[in-house]
Structure 1
Amino acid sequence: MGNRSRIVLLALGIFFVGVAVMARFYAYPTLAVAPPDQVAHTTSTTTQDGTVFVVATQKETQLPLTSTRTVRGDVVAAEKIGQALNREVVVFDTAVVTDDDPAYAFPSEDDAKRDDKAPLSFVQERVVLDAHTGEAIAWDPDKATDNSGEYITTTLKTEDRKRPGDQVFKDGHQGLVLKFPFGTEKKTYKFWDSTLRQAFPIEFKGETELLGLKVYKFVQEIPKSEVPQAAKLKVPGALIGEKGQPSVVVDRSYQNTRTLWIEPVTGAIIKGEEKQLATIDYNGEVKITATDATIGYDDATVKKNVEGATVDGKAEGGYAEKASQLNLIGFWVPLLSLILGLLLLGLAGFLSLRPKARRAA
């Protein structure tokens, strides 16, 4: 084989090694980021009626519950905060509404009975996350003069938003919040709990499949804890058997077993389930069951997360395909390109040495 052929082999070998390096260390990190304009909807339901304390009737009641979560990315805020922190971030606004009406919609601002039509539970948050790992990033509220900073609230009133430094939101969001890292590992992470305003360990418990997609199962055990309150919680004495007192100060306790099924390549949450127990306690004794329910993603949400679907004209979910694409770019393309490149370089080197060996003989 002539010098020209050896040069071609050498060039092709260098090319494929370069492809391997570019795919693994440039293309993959570029693609393995959470999209800043992401919009996602999830629906969770109880498999059987949950127990909730209905304020209007002042009674514990068995009700079917539906919880809907909406997540929307704020591209403008992500760009501003990313530039200020000199790192890739995403900013998401989330709202979780839980009610016995699966089609619950907030009443209009001018509705005279707006307060009477509040859902059983409502939590709204703005979180700033690392675009690669999904971990919460502290954002100084002093810099967030345009309200781009993180907050948490249980009402629709802007003045009720709790920001980092507040009594019930001291350190802001912590740990993982809406997703796991790209390339999720089989280890223990810390995952955010909105009720207690802090992150707790969530442990890897094994592999399984959902609709043919490999997922990692993680379980988080949150022990019974007192829920932080901005002001002391008071209830009528008669409600807890203290008829001689017009009102008494009580504690609200909460515990939860949260199970998440994660697609490991993308870090996406494919399915979630929670077994919640919240009570009203007086002098260390449980007096009222505020919530006792097991609620988890419905089948349609899991299917959408795996196979993908279009919601309001925008594609959501489809993590089976996204994982395949990332796995191709991050693993198979670099591996095969590196092997082919090294083989071509080895062949070019072998052919270069052959004439010398013949002359020596």
Structure 2
Amino acid sequence: MRKGLVSGLIGVGAFLVVIAILSLTYWPGQLLRTPLDVDTTTRLEGTALISGEESPIKATNITRVDSEKSDDDVVVFRNSTCVVRNIGDVADCVSQDDPENRLVTASEGGFAADRRTGMAVNKSKYVSADAGELEGLVNKFPFETEKKDYPYWEDTTEQAVDAVYQKSVTIRGLETYLFTVDVEPTPVEIAAGVDGLYSTTKELYVEPLTGSIIRQVEQQVRTTTEGEPVAEINLDFTDAQVKANVDDANSNRRLLNLALKVVPLVGLIAGIPILLAGFVLLVLGRRGQGASNDASPKRADEHV
């Protein structure tokens, strides 16, 4: 019975210690990676002032992982964005020949990013040559985001700009880091075949452990090359979208904290004493067995 108890203690203790070591060394590299089953729809709402006419708008961004092109280190995304005038029972997107002229803008694209850092990857095995060279963060911040500035890809101007850390902000009880992006008026094609100037300001509220963007507030301004207003777009995540993002972030944080903090703590606190207790009983048992053998009576034919 004692032998079974000793074996059990050593086995359980060793198991807990090994699990704790794995959670401290191996699991972070495996768990702190963008999953390969991402399929998200993000919704925003706001207003647009186009050619002097203001109207409510809504935007829909769909992001899906291309699992065939993704691998252990890099995740490949396909995404589409559509902004429409929120007039009548309008769908998430409409065609260019919509009779009520409700389409504001629509675009499709793809990109690749490092699964841990969120930084753009431009290798030809992941993206086509005509996709262009992206730099910086594209759709999320790195796991364990720090209170510092990051390069952030601005798609319209096709350049990386600084996402500047500002402060911590609590949203629905969840701590986020506020980053701001400012793009000064930059020459771009503001419409098909029309040159002009584009500027934007963005507020990005980031959950630091997962790097997910919980809320995004954006103002875009397009003008002629002389500075005459052409369009102004203001967008913010919908309340329902913010709530869903907070719920997802809380759920992911609980799982990551359990695996990376609670498990190693419990494993070491419980595993080491159990393991030591098993070894102590093992040693004591061997000593007791040795003493018993020494004290056993000698046979009659043994010589003294």
Query: Scaled by the length of structure 1, what TM-score is found?
Result: 0.68
Q: Contact conserved, 2:36 with 2:65, CA < 8 A, in 1?
A: yes
Q: 2:134 aligns with which of 165, 170, 173?
A: 173
Q: 1:292 aligns with which of 220, 232, 243?
A: 232
Task: Give 3-state SS (helix, strand or coil) of 2:266's partner.
Answer: helix
Offset at 1:199?
A: 1.6
1:163 aligns with 2:131: yes
**Which position in structure 2 is the counterpart of 1:256?**
200
Q: Contact conserved, 1:39 with 1:71, CA < 8 A, in 2?
A: yes
Offset at 1:127?
A: 0.8
Deviations 1:57-90 (A, max 9, x none): xxx3222221111112211222xxx3xxxx5222
CA–CA distance in 1 between the matches of 2:128 and 2:40? 19
CA–CA distance in 2 between the matches of 1:36 and 1:115? 39
- Residue identity matched to 1:275: Q
**Which position in structure 2 is the counterpart of 1:323?**
253
Q: 1:217 aligns with which of 178, 181, 189?
A: 178
Q: Contact conserved, 1:127 with 1:150, CA < 8 A, in 2?
A: no
Deviations 1:26-50 (A, max 9, x none): 334333322223111111112xx43
Matched-pair identity in %: 27
Task: Give 3-state SS (helix, strand or coil) of 2:26's partner.
Answer: helix
CA–CA distance in 1 between the matches of 2:150 and 2:80? 24
Change (3 A) 1:205 1:6: farther
Deviations 1:212-268 (A, max 9, x none): 22222211222222226899x55xxxxxxxxxxxxxxxx421222211111222211
Q: Contact conserved, 1:24 with 1:329, CA < 8 A, in 2?
A: no
- Structure 1 alignment gaps of length 5 or more: 54-59, 152-161, 165-171, 235-250, 308-317, 357-361
CA–CA distance in 2 between the matches of 1:10 and 1:223? 65
**Which position in structure 2 is the counterpart of 1:192?**
153
Counterparts of 1:1-361 in structure 2, within 5 Å, are 9-46=9-46, 49-53=47-51, 60-78=52-70, 82=71, 87-101=72-86, 103-104=90-91, 105-107=93-95, 113=97, 119-140=103-124, 149-150=127-128, 162-164=130-132, 172-227=133-188, 233-234=193-194, 251-282=195-226, 286=227, 288-307=228-247, 318-344=248-274
Q: Contact conserved, 2:110 with 2:131, CA < 8 A, in 1?
A: no
CA–CA distance in 2 between the matches of 1:298 and 1:230? 27
- Residue identity matched to 2:182: E
Change (3 A) 1:120 1:16: same
CA–CA distance in 2 between the matches of 1:16 and 1:324? 20
Q: Contact conserved, 1:256 with 1:275, CA < 8 A, in 2?
A: yes
Deviations 1:277-326 (A, max 9, x none): 221113xxx1x21222331101011112122xxxxxxxxxx221111101
Q: Contact conserved, 2:190 with 2:198, CA < 8 A, in 1?
A: no
CA–CA distance in 1 between the matches of 2:188 and 2:34? 31
Q: Contact conserved, 2:187 with 2:225, CA < 8 A, in 1?
A: no
CA–CA distance in 1 between the matches of 2:197 and 2:149? 25
Task: Give 3-state SS (helix, strand or coil) of 2:42's partner.
Answer: strand
Task: Give 3-state SS (helix, strand or coil) of 1:217's partner.
Answer: strand
- Residue identity matched to 1:40: T
Q: Which has the larger radius of gyration?
A: 2
**Which position in structure 1 is the counterpart of 2:298?**
none
Change (3 A) 1:353 1:185: farther
Task: Give 3-state SS (helix, strand or coil) of 1:327's partner.
Answer: helix
Q: Contact conserved, 2:190 with 2:222, CA < 8 A, in 1?
A: no
